[in-house]
Structures are given as structure tokens and as C-alpha cells.
Structure 1
């Protein structure tokens, strides 16, 4: 066990894609679920941190600090100290992107107007998120802290969308800086109505909003005036103020293709009866944007969110496992960049929720019906969701498994959960239709067993928490570590099975005999259509396999 007291170095660095820079490899996706939209009264948020990096699941211990204590603010990419801020008198333990009060904070980067970045601000978005998680108890407190910390110390990142959730409610907060040398952010925050969900994926979602509903909508006092002063909004235009139009005006076809498609996929799978059109995400002129909030056709559970985070547009005209670009084995992998040109014409690959460059994915679950130590759980997996396995870490744990905390991005290790899950992923990408069924079988078996055990574990932990909180913490720590270790061992075995089963184009049967499954008829037709004249045999040629 690793008892390191630092935070989840989840590369909150990972999501620096501006909506206008769709060719970048960095981006993130988040889904927000209110209590009334969940199957068991959970508040839930998801987060796929999409960038080529190695996350290390670490932990920050809370505590009481002497007055006058200062704490370093560091950049995640290079550990550079950007400055110091005053330490709070009391801080809370953070595991992953959730603290001991069941407060979660995840993000996607929206970019926005470049001239509003203040390079001298002390707080970049990931440093800001960590400070807030250490200091806030509720989502509303977190929103207030984001604003006050940025006003005091300055904000250095581009625009962000934050998913901020506690055990009772979930908020979408969008913010952007005020430009070089100006401290503070302009922002708006919307409470997701009970019974509804929303999603964001590197494009601002909030447009017009009420200025007189503080219970459900909060905003910086100068959000309209600042835009007016900078010429982003004309008060005499006859149009209501729109946050996105003012601060994130890029809704080009390429930006919508890269970002809005992920929101569409969440909506079309969560509320199929609504039959949401693909027109907006395909960039059609005059098409209508997706609503900020929707009611799912049926309440969602943890398993449903795991499935949504594994989406490659399956079952739609944009299914990435179909077509010549999916190769002979129907792979959803598309090598970067997203955009490319052929003979001067621009083209773009689809950008799914589940993507090969994901560093980690979480489904955070918060519940008011349970003690905080039991109610808050991060379902975490390194690498991308479609080829890996979620495992639970409760927010009260005081230790983590070494396989999830160790590793080097430059050196493969069988002892690193990130490297082992990446090995399975990369073995699957090139032979998806052959290998993925084995991966999916392992996922289903492991995750269904964990979800089945969850109520039993939590009933025991809740009883322990009432009688002996320290014993409950030990119990949940042992369970979280042991289950993560079991998943890790299963994925080590899976990698070895894939390596030994799929060899040199052959696939071994149940007796270990190599068979030649060849290619699908659909793929062979595509080959013949392109190179049939070259490959065609004479009519009387013998059919001999050499």
C-alpha cells in the first residue's frame, strides 16, 4: 500500500483543448446526473481525462493548519511553483476528485476568447480545483470559493466548464478569466434540475439564463457588464445576453463535430424517445442546439454511466466500428489528428466519448442516504473506459494500491495498472472484432460482481460508521485496495491471454489449436473494390494456400 498524501495527479492537465483547436489531442467529457435522475437517489458525475499522459491515483490528507501557513501552488505539467496562497485553517481529505464530504469537482476545457487568458495568474484550473476540493463542503460553497480564490490570486487558464456535485445537488459552472493583469473570472453556474441530466465536452453549454433565480442560477456580478465593456455584447442588439455567445463564440462546424457530438451521444442514449437530431453536431446551418438539461427516459445507474463513457457512436450512422476507416477488424481507433486534408479538401474523423488517449476515467457517486465515508465512491479506471475496468475507491480510504500510484510514462511495467490496461487496449485496437469480446467479457464479470457486492459492503460499512468510524475507514480501505488489486491481476492475466491466443494472424481455439479466421466478407468486398484487378486470380487458377 502507498500512503502518499498527495493528490490524484490525474493530469487535470489533460483537458486543455479549446473548442476551436479540434485537432489537439487534449479534451475531456463530463456527464452530470441529479438525484431524481438516478436509479437510487445518487448524484453522479463522470469525467474522462483525455490526453497522452500517465495518471497516478494519489491522496491528499486533510488537517488543521496553524494561522499564517502558506501552501505552494504548482503547475501539474512540470511541478513548477506558480506562487503561494494562504492555507485554510481546516482542509478536507481528497481521494481522486472527491473529498471526504462527498464533494466532487471535474471539468472540461472550453478555451474561449484567447485574449482573456492571464498568464500571470497564480491559479491554473487544476490547481484551483484542488484548493477548492480541500476547502469546500458543498457544491454551493465550491462555487463561491472558485470565485473568491480567482479574485484574490488570479486565474491563468483559459475557459472551463466545471461539474460540481455534492450528495444533494449538481451544478454546471462555466468560467473564463479577464485578461492579462486582471484578477478574477466572469462566470455563470446552473443547478441541474432534479430529475434531469446534462453533459459538456469542451464547448460552452450555457447561453441565455435568468438573472433573477438565485436558487438555481448564480453568476458573477459583472458577467454582463464585462462583456459589454469589452464589446462582446451589445445592449442595444435586442437580444438577451448569452454567456456562450459573449465568451465562447466559436460554434463552427468543426468545433461542433468535435464537441457537441459527445453531448448528442449522451442524450440520444439516455433519452432515445426524444429522437435528438444529429444536425447541430454535424454543423448544419440553421440547426438547433441541444437543450442544456434533459430528462432521461429511465433513471440512470452507475452501470449506465460506465456504458455511456464507453461510447463510439455504436448503432448510429457514425459508428466508428464500421466502414473502411475501421479497418479489417472494425476498430474504433482513429490516429490523431482529428482533421486532415486529401487533395486540398478538409475532412475530420469522428470524436467519440471513449478515446484512446484517455489517461483515466471516473464515475463519481454521492449519496445523502449514507454516511459520507460510505456514500462517496469514485469508480476509477486508468486508460480509456471501453477497454478497461472500473473499480471503487471510497472517499474515506487512507491507503491506495501501489499498482495505481506507481509507474513511469516512459517505461513499461507489469506492476503498473496504467501500463497493463494500456497493453490490453493496444492489443485490442488492431484486432478489435477478435480481441474485444474477451475484454468485454472480463469487464462484465468484474464490474457486475463489484456492483452486486456494493450494497452488502455498504450496509456493513454504515453500521461500522455508526459505532466506530475508524473501523469503518479501515474496512472500506481494505475493500477498495483488495478489489483494485483483483481487477489489476485480472487485467494482467487478460493481457497474457490475448498475447497467447492471437498470434501471427491466427486465433487459437478452446483446445489451443491455431485457426485462420481470415477477414470478414464486408472487408474483402472493400479490398476487391479498390484492388480487385491486382488481386484477381485467373479463372482456372488452383486455390492453394501457401
Structure 2
């Protein structure tokens, strides 16, 4: 194979910018069991692109005949749509081999196949795999890389979406999953962008990072364990730095060192191989697009560290791979981090002229803004918005808990928040269910539907833009009551589930499914009712409590910044 020069690699990188979809990134966290209040391992992820398929799908466990193969499908989450493989943003996949929720009339075209195993596990699936019946769980964020490769049958058939699904189908532990995914990358090839995948089980958590290879086949990868008692945050930039092949807390792909050396990305005289510098251009899109979120999450969890929000460049080592929180974190603490928009900091998005009179924190991207997950960080931009953890274009977020002291069906919980974290409710779903509610498993973002849970939360979030300071306060009050109620109810449900598991284990799945269905149904129906309350309460710019037409107007501090003080208060020409 012809050897690439470094300059040629950068040409390939820049050319691919023209074809990469304008995905807008994700934030993901892993909190080890020694860093959580209850001793659970936690993995969270916000899927920050509401152009994608927002359905959360239950894929059932299955048995397969000897000699069967497993199809590998193209993913729109990698680089956008590939019609030649019937790969679209929605639906993400159409196939008969992943259970009824993925069936359809025009099946997706496989990039290739791998040998199937006799039995595959049940799991929750989104645009990436989420969590399986044995409490193995994933997070995800996209990263910029020097190489961005298209799928190619026979050479590059895997992206992280299908890698995570195969691992959830076949593995019980994080180490087992990483070893499997690494072998699949090296044998079948990796396409797409760079990726960070938190992978965790009931005992420990690892971070696996992947980049396409300039060789045209295979792929580059490395994994590092998160020390017990610490937390990790990833936000669209590789977070692993020095790679030590002798470190028992690291796993390293066999191609990394020889390929990096061959293509001039690293040489032994440089010292330890720096993964971030070797395979990427550092931070992408624009300065602080990634690093500000890492700073914020770490600062919320460990303010005692006194981390600075300002760094010298995108390759900074100011923010360590993982940190020890000042206090052990609860699942509600993790949700709160995902809901953050820099409130109370110098970057507070509820302040300033762009927030308008009512402190609206969301920013809408347009033609003048940086685009995509792999933007050249050196390009000139006329301006940029701060990129918070919670964004208006988030499709869904989850906080997964693996609790090893409980049986797997009861111990694993996916706390699912549809639409953006700041204005949603995180609903609990046990991994021991045998289906997910129709309202969760159905969503087409191009068609408004009251049968879709996603649309309930999306509608309320958008309605809040009318008078965000007041309506967001109503949302916070309502969601706090709901989420607190869930946590209290789970104590009762888990106690009952343990008794069922002891006496009649064959009835456990039905019990857990019924609870999750009914709980989600009440929540979603209640949120639709809430939306109608908000329509009336804030109709026509008033705050209608008790009677219609109560004038609220604008805050005086904002009025002073407008033409209001110079308005027509007297006759005569000025």
C-alpha cells in the first residue's frame, strides 16, 4: 500500500469536511462506584443532535442457529446519510434481525457480516448501544481525528454504533467488551470520526477511544481504566494522553504504534506516545467547544480543585483524565451536571443581550458558526457561542446505573430524559423489562405526534422560550417532584421485585415491564397536561394566574438596554 505523507493526511481530513454531517456533538461521563453515594457505577450520555432518530429501542435476547451470520449496518450518526446502503438519519436501521421495533418495508443494506454467536443478550438501543440485561453499559461522544473515513465493504464496516451493539449482545464485562471491539476494529476495519466510548459494568469503568487508520483498513484504538473513586468527562475531544503498553490499566490496539510511526505521527525519540496529539488536531469546531464542558463538569463535582476555564491551546493538560469529586455523587447530581448552562459563572448563558429579556440560554446555530464534529480548529471564525452541556438540539440523554449488589434485571437502570436535559424529566427503566413503552419506542421528529413521549418534552421545552425565566421555573418544580417521587417509589418496587425474584423469578420481567410502562405513561400523559397548563398560563405574553390578562411586561434592567427609554412619552419632535 502506498505510504501517506503527513500533508496528504491533512488533505484527506479537510476534504472529508465537505461530506461529514453537521452533527453537533455529545457529552458523556463515567463515575466509578467509589465516587457514587450508593456504590453504583454510572455512565451518562447526551445525544446532542435532534436531526437523528430519537427512538429508544428494546432489542430482545435471541438464539441463533449454527453457522448464522450477524449483519453490520451503516450508521448515519457517523457521517450523515448513505442512501446506497439505505442508511438514513431516520429510521436509523430497518432489519428483521433486531426484534420487532426495527422491522420495516425497505431493509437496510449491510456493509458486511461477522459470524453470529449462539445466544445474544437483550439491550436498550439508541443511535448507539446503551445498556444490556447484564448491566454492561455504554456512553459516547464524537471526536475530531486526522482521518475521517467513509464506510467501505470489505475494508471498513464498523462504526462505534454497531461496535457497541455487538458488545452488548455478547459481553457481560467492560474488559470483555473492549477486547471484543478492539478485535473487530482490527479485523473488519473502522470508519467515521474519532470516538470516545465509556464502557462500564457493575465493578469498573473504562474509556475506549478510536480513530480511523490511514492504512485504509483496520483502525487505531486505546482504552484506559477510570480509577475507583474518580469520575471521567468526555466532550468531543480525545481525553487519553500518554499510552503505556505495560500499564495493566490500559489496553492498546496492535496497530497503533506501528501505524503512527509509519505515517510520521509519532517516533520513539518523541517519548511516550500522546494519543490525543498523535491521532487528532486537538480540540475541534472552535476553541473551548469541548474543553469548557470538561472544565465545568469537573468544577461542579470538585470545586476545591480550583480549575481555570482558560487554557493555552487544545492540547492542554490542565484537565486530568479523571478527578475525585469533593463529595460522592448521586444520580441526581449527574443529571444536574447534564442540565448545566454555566449558570453563575462568567459564561452564564442566561445573561447578556443574546439571552433576551427572560434569560433564555439556548443559542441557535447558523451560517456564520462553525460546523460539524471535525471542523479545523485553526480556521478563522468571526465569532462563536459558548457550548454548554445542555443544548437545545439534544435528542435524548440518559444516566445509567449498574448496581452489583442486586440481581441484574433489577440492578441495571436507565434513567432516560427525552429532548434537552435542562427541560426534561429523567424516567427510570429496569434492564429486566421485556419491552419499552410505545411512546418511547416511537418518534419521528419530522411529524408532530401526541403518541410520542419525545414530542411531549420537546414541545414544553420550546414553549418555555416564550418567557423562559418563569416557565423554566415551572418546569423545574414539576420535574423535581416527579424525579423525587420516582426515587421513593423505586425503593418499594425493588423490594417487591426482589421478593418476586426469590419466589417466582419467571414473573419478574412482567412485573418490571408493567411498572416501567405505567410509570412512563403517567409521566408522559402528565407532561402533555402540563403543556396545556403552560399554554393558558402564559398566553399572549401575560401571566394568567387566577384571571386572564395579568400584565408582566419586561424586566427594567433589560428595558434600559432597548429603545424604550427614548420612546414616545411626550408630544413634539426630538
Q: TM-score, normalised by structure 2?
A: 0.85
Alignment match, 2:395? 359
Unmatched tracts of structure 2, length 5 or more: 1-15, 77-87, 94-107, 371-379
CA contact (8 A) 1:272 1:297 kept: yes
Q: 1:113 aligns with which of 146, 160, 172?
A: 146
SS in 2 for 1:491: helix
Alignment match, 1:430? 466
Higher mean alpha-carbon deviation, 86-95 vs 262-271, is at 86-95
SS in 1 for 2:494: helix
C-alpha displacement of 1:538: 3.4
C-alpha displacement of 1:413: 1.0
Alignment match, 1:26? 24
1:262 has 2:293 as partner: yes
Report matched runs for 1:200-215 at 5 Å. 200-214=234-248
CA contact (8 A) 1:279 1:287 kept: no
| C-alpha separation in 2, matches of 1:526 and 1:345 | 27
C-alpha displacement of 1:178: 1.5
Structure 1 462/324 Cα, relative in aligned 2: closer, same or farther at 3 Å?
Answer: same
Alignment match, 1:65? 64
| C-alpha separation in 2, matches of 1:57 and 1:25 | 19
C-alpha displacement of 1:334: 0.3
How many residues end up aligned between the 2 structures?
Answer: 512
CA contact (8 A) 2:244 2:272 kept: no
Alignment match, 1:228? 261
Q: 2:276 aligns with which of 244, 247, 254?
A: 244
| C-alpha separation in 1, matches of 2:369 and 2:251 | 41
| C-alpha separation in 1, matches of 2:19 and 2:149 | 16
CA contact (8 A) 1:362 1:379 kept: yes
Report matched runs for 1:33-432 at 5 Å. 33-52=31-50, 53-77=52-76, 78=88, 79=93, 80-81=108-109, 82-96=111-125, 97-114=130-147, 119-120=152-153, 121-179=156-214, 181-182=216-217, 184-214=218-248, 216-237=249-270, 239-251=271-283, 255-280=286-311, 288-337=317-366, 340=369, 346-432=382-468
| C-alpha separation in 2, matches of 1:373 and 1:432 | 40
| C-alpha separation in 1, matches of 2:53 and 2:475 | 21
1:489 has 2:525 as partner: yes
Structure 1 233/345 Cα, relative in aligned 2: closer, same or farther at 3 Å?
Answer: closer
| C-alpha separation in 2, matches of 1:234 and 1:413 | 56
Higher mean alpha-carbon deviation, 497-506 vs 24-33, is at 24-33
Report matched runs for 1:425-464 at 5 Å. 425-464=461-500
Q: Deviations over 1:79-113 (max 9, x none)?
A: 43222222112210112411011000121111301
Structure 1 243/19 Cα, relative in aligned 2: closer, same or farther at 3 Å?
Answer: farther
Please tell me the root mean square deviation across aligned C-alpha atoms, in Å. 2.4
CA contact (8 A) 1:339 1:349 kept: no
| C-alpha separation in 2, matches of 1:164 and 1:426 | 33
| C-alpha separation in 1, matches of 2:281 and 2:421 | 31
Q: TM-score, normalised by structure 1?
A: 0.89
| C-alpha separation in 2, matches of 1:193 and 1:338 | 42
Structure 1 456/162 Cα, relative in aligned 2: closer, same or farther at 3 Å?
Answer: same
Structure 1 428/338 Cα, relative in aligned 2: closer, same or farther at 3 Å?
Answer: farther
Structure 1 285/292 Cα, relative in aligned 2: closer, same or farther at 3 Å?
Answer: closer
Q: Deviations over 1:220-278 (max 9, x none)?
A: 133222211110113223x42100000013336x5441111111111010001111110
Unmatched tracts of structure 1, length 5 or more: 1-17, 542-546
C-alpha displacement of 1:124: 2.1
SS in 1 for 2:398: strand
CA contact (8 A) 1:174 1:187 kept: yes
Alignment match, 1:12? none
